[in-house]
Amino acid sequence: MNQPLAMPAKLALGISTLFGLLYLSFGLVWLAAPETIAAALGASLLQGTGLATQLGDSASFFLCAGTFMLYGVVRRHADYLMAGAVLIGLVAPARLVAWQFHGAALTMEPIVVEILTFLVVFWAARCVRNA
């Protein structure tokens, strides 16, 4: 049986649950209504093989990140929380590389959300591991 968690750990797990649901929903919307999520993210849909790759990669990325976070919360499993945190956390430096070296727009709002997600879910993983 799991030990009772302190209030900060409960807060970290609660916020991690919300992030997990958010990213899981992003993955589902990529499958069900790709034009909606692409517009919300400021992206345009590709055509043909590019569209298949865009939808497959984007949906699976968000579905994995969200599922890892939610599974980690429910099972209080730090490794799954860390997997979700790292998946999302690595997007921020990738965006900076895209901006710096490939002419992409500098998108600070998503970068802040990705860093915040990483920090909170990492914190939750530490809390679970130390409980």
Q: What is the CA 10 to chain-centroid distance, rounded?
A: 19
- Reported as a pLDDT band with limits 50, 70 and 90, residue 115 is very high
d(CA 94, CA 63): 19
Rg value, the chain, Cα? 16
- Reported as a pLDDT band with limits 50, 70 and 90, residue 131 is confident
**Where do we find the tokens 């992409």?**
104
The pTM assigned to this predicted structure is: 0.93
For 2-49, what is each residue's pLDDT tens digit?
678 899 999 999 999 999 999 999 999 999 999 999 999 889 999 999
What is the distance between the terminal CA atoms of the chain, rounded to a whole angstrom?
12
For 38-83, what is each residue's pLDDT tens digit?
999 889 999 999 999 999 999 999 999 999 999 999 999 999 999 9
Q: Where are the domains of the chain?
A: 7-130
Q: Hey, is 36 helix, strand or coil?
A: helix
Q: Where are the beta strands (DSSP E) in 5-131?
A: none
